[in-house]
Chain A
């Protein structure tokens, strides 16, 4: 669980595309060890926010600090150092299609450590085992189901034991059971390995199951409309729309 110490600090962050502001002056913090969910409807800019947080795009204004390093301005060795602090699971998994699952997990270890090859294989195989893909080492990504590809992508993201894992829509395209299994994996990794999770999602069932804290983005204000624990937002948010959003969805998801 969260230690209250800040690991990611987003301050006055503004994102623009083709001169049009998508997100305006966002500020929030992610605490070490928590499962932090960025939530919002389609087109509210949550994936855009994630892509800025992992350094793929530079913000139009503001700063994003990961463990004290500015991800968008870091260069050379500092950049490598920041990139080592986190792993990313992309929506589609983004496993390298020309390599086996094991080679995918081995790749970061081969590139950034001087471990002997047999050690790398053992470590990679261990990570695959941890996400429930033991025995699939020599499969090609295309031979795995959608849920397994996402697990493999998590294993690859964990290859170098990062402090933070960013997950882009983990439940997208998965059936509810597979999605729930993935949620369990996320929770168990957060608890046992003390990994901080930053997850982009709009699946309320999954959010209630895993999130310690959420921020909710909205297109109309181009920013955050609510911050807090999902259950508290459902009961006590000042914003009626937010309460409605959480409770309506929650009641249709859990008719009990």
Chain B
């Protein structure tokens, strides 16, 4: 805080026979008006005097906040039909007061209209419904564009697709590999502690094999992808929307879905299963390191692993990864295309892309689990 030289001070007297006397001395500026404001408005409101005499003869300086106080005091008096008389206001401050009093100066700023709970709920419901509607439309457009792309592969923007595939796949490999390995190690340790009590540590291999191949591999990959690429898609496309580039595409006769969404979906669709294979491999390696530290030779671990998992587990996981890839890329692009105007809109789309991506992944995972359960058991 700055030390205020000659800060404004309020003196009061009354109310006596309907008259409240106030006097302000010193500098009434943004730094010193605060305490005077609170005190004087409280006094004036409480007194409800017919007349408030405000003496400002020894006020040396007054800025916008000081003038605002004078206007506010007058307004408070007018509210109950009283009057405010200002004495000794210097001509230069009088000019300021007249200038600021013009127009809306005499009426208090209106409070923001509060929305009712029912209205808010209704509005949200309409938004959700609109979102579902847009989602369905988008799925239709995307499906059509993918069919067209499959029929005429030359219309696909292959150069973009390869560049995006590199970003989505190759550049994500280190983080996918590291996290999968660590998750493998952690799960193996946790399982080993429990299984040791029954002397069944060897079954750690079964657990690692099944859970990584069927569940953790695809899921970890998908969540990393949603955070890395889903958000990037939304931000890229959102920025293009804000910069009118999407409009430019449309007026050139280039459909944004074919031009921007198809390459991204194709890239994600190819790279997610590939990344998942790496995630599976590294997850199992994590488990094997733990087993070796517990004294099991590597060959024993892999023998047990082969007994536990089938190709079905691997393929089942990869099919899931394939679906997750499409979902993440599609929702990322949709959120990008839905971006509204303004600087905060792109940030909002990015957040929505990640949140919707993860929700969709978990839902889809649940559906796959039910389907696999019905097929295999």
Using CB atoms and an 8 Å cutoff, list the residues of chain A in contact with chain B: 51, 54-56, 79-80, 83-84, 86-88, 90-92, 94-97, 107-108, 111-112
Q: Are A90 and B252 in contact (CB under 8 A)?
A: no
Give 22 pairs: A residue, B residue, CB < 8 Å, sorted on A.
A51-B247, A54-B251, A55-B251, A56-B250, A56-B251, A79-B253, A83-B252, A83-B253, A84-B253, A86-B251, A88-B248, A90-B247, A92-B243, A92-B244, A94-B248, A95-B245, A96-B240, A96-B248, A97-B240, A97-B245, A108-B252, A112-B253
Choose from A79, A84, A91 the contact partner of B244 (Cβ within 8 Å). Answer: A91
Chain B 240-264 interface mask (CB, 8 Å, partner A; 1/0)? 1001110110111110000000000
Instruction: Count chain B CB atoms within 10 A of each CB in A83, A94, A111 and give the residue with the most.
Output: A94
Using CB atoms and an 8 Å cutoff, list the residues of chain B in contact with chain A: 239-240, 243-245, 247-248, 250-254
A156, B250: Cα distance in complex, Å: 14
Q: Are A94 and B253 in contact (CB under 8 A)?
A: no
Choose from A84, A90, A112 the contact partner of B248 (Cβ within 8 Å). Answer: A90
Q: Are B251 and A96 in contact (CB under 8 A)?
A: no
A180, B320: Cα distance in complex, Å: 59
Which single residue of chain B is at the shortest CB-CB distance from A83?
A: B253
Which single residue of chain B is at the shortest CB-CB distance from A104?
A: B248
Q: Are A107 and B252 in contact (CB under 8 A)?
A: yes
Find chain B residues with CB under 8 A from A88 CB. 247-248, 251
Find chain A residues with CB under 8 A from B253 CB. 79-80, 83-84, 111-112
A107, B244: Cα distance in complex, Å: 16
Q: Are A94 and B250 in contact (CB under 8 A)?
A: no
A237, B247: Cα distance in complex, Å: 36
Contacts between the two chains (Cβ within 8 Å), count:
44
Which single residue of chain A is at the shortest CB-CB distance from B239?
A: A97
Q: Give 4 closest A-B pairs by Cβ, nearest first.
A: A94-B244, A83-B253, A94-B248, A90-B244
**Distance from A76 Cβ to chain B, minimum over Cβ atoms (Å):** 11
Which single residue of chain A is at the shortest CB-CB distance from B254?
A: A111
A90, B251: Cα distance in complex, Å: 11
Find chain B residues with CB under 8 A from A56 CB. 247, 250-251
A54, B239: Cα distance in complex, Å: 21
Choose from A79, A94, A96 the contact partner of B247 (Cβ within 8 Å). Answer: A94
Find chain B residues with CB under 8 A from A90 CB. 244, 247-248
A206, B244: Cα distance in complex, Å: 24
Given A56-B250, A111-B252, 8 extra CB contacts under 8 A: A56-B247, A88-B247, A90-B244, A96-B248, A97-B239, A97-B243, A107-B252, A112-B253
Choose from A55, A79, A96 the contact partner of B245 (Cβ within 8 Å). Answer: A96
A88, B244: Cα distance in complex, Å: 11
Q: Are B252 and A94 in contact (CB under 8 A)?
A: no
Which single residue of chain B is at the shortest CB-CB distance from A54?
A: B251
A79, B255: Cα distance in complex, Å: 12
A108, B239: Cα distance in complex, Å: 21
Find chain A residues with CB under 8 A from B252 CB. 83, 107-108, 111
Find chain A residues with CB under 8 A from B240 CB. 96-97
A87, B240: Cα distance in complex, Å: 19
A161, B247: Cα distance in complex, Å: 19
A108, B254: Cα distance in complex, Å: 9
A108, B253: Cα distance in complex, Å: 9
A56, B215: Cα distance in complex, Å: 45
Instruction: Count chain B CB atoms within 10 A of each CB in A87, A91, A108, A111 and give the residue with the most.
Output: A111
Find chain B residues with CB under 8 A from A54 CB. 251
Find chain A residues with CB under 8 A from B244 CB. 90-92, 94
Find chain B residues with CB under 8 A from A96 CB. 240, 245, 248
Find chain A residues with CB under 8 A from B251 CB. 54-56, 83, 86-88
A91, B244: Cα distance in complex, Å: 8
A25, B243: Cα distance in complex, Å: 30
Which single residue of chain B is at the shortest CB-CB distance from A110?
A: B157
**Distance from B244 Cβ to chain A, minimum over Cβ atoms (Å):** 4
A111, B157: Cα distance in complex, Å: 10
Which single residue of chain A is at the shortest CB-CB distance from B252?
A: A108
Instruction: Count chain A CB atoms within 10 A of each CB in B244, B245, B248, B250 and give the residue with the most.
Output: B248
A88, B254: Cα distance in complex, Å: 14
Instruction: Count chain A CB atoms within 10 A of each CB in B247, B250, B252, B254 and give the residue with the most.
Output: B252
**Distance from B360 Cβ to chain A, minimum over Cβ atoms (Å):** 27
A80, B254: Cα distance in complex, Å: 9
Find chain B residues with CB under 8 A from A80 CB. 253
Find chain B residues with CB under 8 A from A111 CB. 252-254
A54, B249: Cα distance in complex, Å: 12
Find chain A residues with CB under 8 A from B250 CB. 55-56
A91, B253: Cα distance in complex, Å: 19
Find chain A residues with CB under 8 A from B248 CB. 88, 90, 94, 96
Which single residue of chain A is at the shortest CB-CB distance from B250?
A: A56
**Distance from B233 Cβ to chain A, minimum over Cβ atoms (Å):** 13
**Distance from A18 Cβ to chain B, minimum over Cβ atoms (Å):** 12
Q: Are A94 and B254 in contact (CB under 8 A)?
A: no
A59, B188: Cα distance in complex, Å: 63
A84, B251: Cα distance in complex, Å: 9
Find chain A residues with CB under 8 A from B247 CB. 51, 56, 88, 90, 94
Which single residue of chain B is at the shortest CB-CB distance from A168?
A: B244
**Distance from A21 Cβ to chain B, minimum over Cβ atoms (Å):** 21
A24, B248: Cα distance in complex, Å: 26
A229, B134: Cα distance in complex, Å: 45
Which single residue of chain B is at the shortest CB-CB distance from A89?
A: B248
Which single residue of chain A is at the shortest CB-CB distance from B248?
A: A94
A51, B247: Cα distance in complex, Å: 9
